[in-house]
Amino acid sequence: MSPLITPAGLAGLAGATVLDVRWKLGGGPPNIDSYREGHVPGAVFCGLDTDLAAPAGAGGRHPLPSAEAFQEAMRRLGVSGSRPVVVYDEADSTAAARAWWTLRYFGHPDVRVLDGGFRAWVSEGLPADKEEETASPGDFVAHPGGMPVLEATQVLEFASEGVLLDARAAERYRGEVEPIDPVAGHIPGAVSAPTGENVDPAGRFHLPDFLRERFNTLGAVPGLQVGAYCGSGVTAAHEVLALEVAGIPAALYVGSWSNWVADPSRPVATG
């Protein structure tokens, strides 16, 4: 089953829990404001910083929440293991992918991303609500380990023996700019693979064959282990989602660059 769903597919899907995960990289106005201006009918707002991550620290800017905290958050949002979940953001699925990955990591069997997000939903003439939804409590049980992860101690060996994709913009990979983290550059051996190239100008994912060719060109070919990282484990989840659309399993370094540079003894490459 594809991890993506079209607006028409969501409109015809009965009994799904829908989560609005609109979020802006680098901060900005509270994203629940966008939700209140209009959302998919029945959708409940899910805060990426509060529901899909633990507080920032040495583990990175968006470390994984504990199983207990994530379970509590998902139950509050109405998530149950027996019902499908559809997640969406504004358009390009950057934040929605983090929700997809985290739910999958903690064992939910049926999670899909609305391809093109809320913008695609509206563009197809489907209705939007402004009333804030209150979900009936769910019964989701969080069991970690449903998706492969990379720890900092594994990253260099992984990059040497497999393919480690850096999902950030190319100028951040090269170390020319670093708007968020204290050190610029990339993990030695990593390959630049900006997530913006996973989607078309409207924010919809490219077709599986296109994505497969893209990742094969970057070295992600059958028989090699593949991993991804970004600044804080958000856009890298988008990379893992695109890889799954392409039929390529991949591990996520959740702490990503913000965790890597927290230890000054770890090597940094530029250029």
Q: What DSSP line would sit under 92-156, residue for residue?
A: S-HHHHHHHHHHHHTT-S-EEEETTHHHHHHHTT---B-SPP-PPP------S-SS-B--HHHHH
Q: What distance in Å separates the CA atoms of residue 195 and residue 230, rounded to the nearest whole number?
A: 9
Is 46 among the catalytic positions? no
Question: What average pLDDT does the segment 152-173 reach?
Answer: 96
- At residue 27, the pLDDT reads 55
231 found inside a domain = yes
Among the candidates 74, 107, 123, a domain finishes at: 123
For the segment 253-261, the average pLDDT, to the nearest whole number, is: 97
pLDDT tens string 57-104: 989 999 999 999 999 999 999 999 999 999 999 999 999 999 999 999
Listed residues 81, 106, 123: the one ending a domain: 123
Helix residue ranges per DSSP H, the chain:
7-11, 32-37, 48-51, 67-76, 94-105, 117-123, 152-161, 170-174, 208-217, 235-245, 256-260
For residues 8 and 115, state if they share a domain. Answer: yes
Domain for residue 129, yes or no? Answer: no
Q: Give how far Cα 1 sits from Cα of 48, 102, 153, 245, 247, Å.
A: 25, 18, 33, 10, 11
Tally the domains of the chain.
Answer: 2
Does any domain span residue 270? no
Q: Which of the residues 230, 234, 236, 237 is marked catalytic?
A: 230
Q: How confident is the model at residue 263 (pLDDT cuts 50, 70, 90)?
A: very high
Per-residue pLDDT tens digits for 167-200: 999 999 999 999 999 999 999 999 999 999 999 9
**Residue 220 within a domain:** yes
Q: Is residue 230 part of a domain?
A: yes
Domain of 238, CATH number, reads: 3.40.250.10
Same-domain pairing of 54 and 163: no
User: Looking at the domain assignment, is residue 268 inside a domain?
Assistant: no
- In terms of domains, do 109 and 171 share one? no
In a domain, 131, yes or no: no
The confidence band for 1, taking pLDDT boundaries of 50, 70 and 90, is confident
Taking only the tens place, the pLDDT of each residue in 12-46 is 999 999 999 999 865 555 678 899 999 999 999 99
117 and 191 part of one domain: no
Q: Is residue 55 part of a domain?
A: yes
Say yes or no: 84 and 158 in one domain. no
Domain that holds residue 161: 152-260
